[in-house]
Amino acid sequence: MTTRRKLVVGNWKMHGSRVANAELLAGVLAARPFACDVAVCTPFVYLADAAATLAASDVRWGAQDVSAHAQGAYTGEVSAAMLQELGCRYTLVGHSERRAYHAESDALVAAKAQAALGRGVTPIVCVGETLAEREAGQTAEVVKRQLSVVIHQLAHCAAEMVVAYEPVWAIGTGRTATPAQAQEVHALLRAQLQAATGRGDAMRILYGGSVKPDNAAELFAQADIDGGLIGGASLKAADFIAIVRAAG
Ligand code: 13P
């Protein structure tokens, strides 16, 4: 079995200010060294600051979204080439908030993942079911469908992505999936990745949804959970650091 290095990613969502971010990142940097990979996904406008602050460290930075288009008349969009220029290691794609509030389809999410990979930016592809879908017994079907469109689009490069399982009902609600519930979905996503790429054992699948310092260790101890995508708790240095320590 392959050993996968754990990865903990902070998703700041639409939070922060230059002053608050500087304080947060100074706190994170002061806590190094870390035994796992660590990254923060900031709003676009803060990426240059993050690059300047983090460049000399092993903490990486990334975006929360990317355009599917290479360039052109797409007002308000940010291209993968621009993220590459800012040194982004990662970008989220298909976060449930973008799927829900910006009507992003599986096909658009896949095109965004491909645009990112084309510029050497690793897409963190988010999948997850709503509460209604879980209660209707459709969890497996939904997450497999979401992932399969991306796998198909990326073809021979599919093993380059990171996957994040974020049950929509667990995001920002304080209601975390139990470690067993999360593990069950991670295992089926890994089987799907393995069948499609032959490299599923080496790919990282993160869990996201109300991960906190007091539940992180139990989640990260599951066989197929390779770290976390952290929302609210990534905005406080002490909480984020505690979660990073739980991963390593
Ligand atoms: P919370 O950790 O705030 O529940 O957010 C999870 C999330 O959406 C990370 O992308």
Which tens digits make up the pLDDT trace of 78-136? 999 999 999 999 999 999 999 999 999 999 999 999 999 999 999 999 999 999 999 99
The pTM of the full predicted model, rounded to 2 decimals, is 0.98
Q: Summarize pLDDT for 29-38 with one digit per residue, the tens.
A: 999 999 999 9
- Protein residue with its CA nearest to atom 9 in ligand 1: 231
Task: Write out the two tokens for 33.
Answer: 């060294």
d(CA 49, CA 60): 12
At the top level of CATH, the class of 7-246 is: alpha beta
CA distance 123 to 104: 15
**Rounded to whole angstroms, what are the CA distances from 58 to 26, 138, 224?**
13, 39, 24
Beta strand pairing status for 7-11 and 122-127?
unpaired
The Å distance, Cα 192 to ligand 1 centre, comes to 24
Residue nearest to atom 7 of ligand 1 (CA): 231
At residue 176, the pLDDT reads: 87
| Other CB atoms within 10 Å distance of the CB of residue 14 | 7
Q: What is the pLDDT of residue 2?
A: 62
Q: What is the pLDDT of residues 159-209, one digit of tens each?
A: 999 999 999 999 988 888 899 999 999 999 999 999 999 999 999 999 999
Query: Which numbered atom of ligand 1 lies nearest the CA of 210?
Result: 4
Task: Determine the distance separating the centroid of ligand 1 and the alpha carbon of 174, expressed in angstroms.
Answer: 10
Q: What is the DSSP letter of 76?
A: T
The three-point CA angle 120-7-68 to 5° equals 35
Give residues with Cβ within 8 angstroms of 17, minimum separation 6.
Answer: none
The whole-number average pLDDT for the span 44-68 is 98
* Ligand 1 and 153: CB distance under 6 A: no
Output the pLDDT for position 216: 98
Summarised one tens digit per residue, pLDDT across range 135-173 is 999 999 999 999 999 999 999 999 999 999 999 999 988
Instruction: Check residue 1 and give its pLDDT.
Output: 54
Tell me, what's the pLDDT at 35? Answer: 97
Q: Nearest Cα to 51, choosing from 87, 12, 84?
A: 87
Q: What confidence score (pLDDT) does residue 248 get? A: 87
172 lines ligand 1 (CB under 6 A): yes
Number of other residues whose CB lies within 10 A of the CB of residue 204: 18
From 95, 104, 129, 133, active-site residue:
95
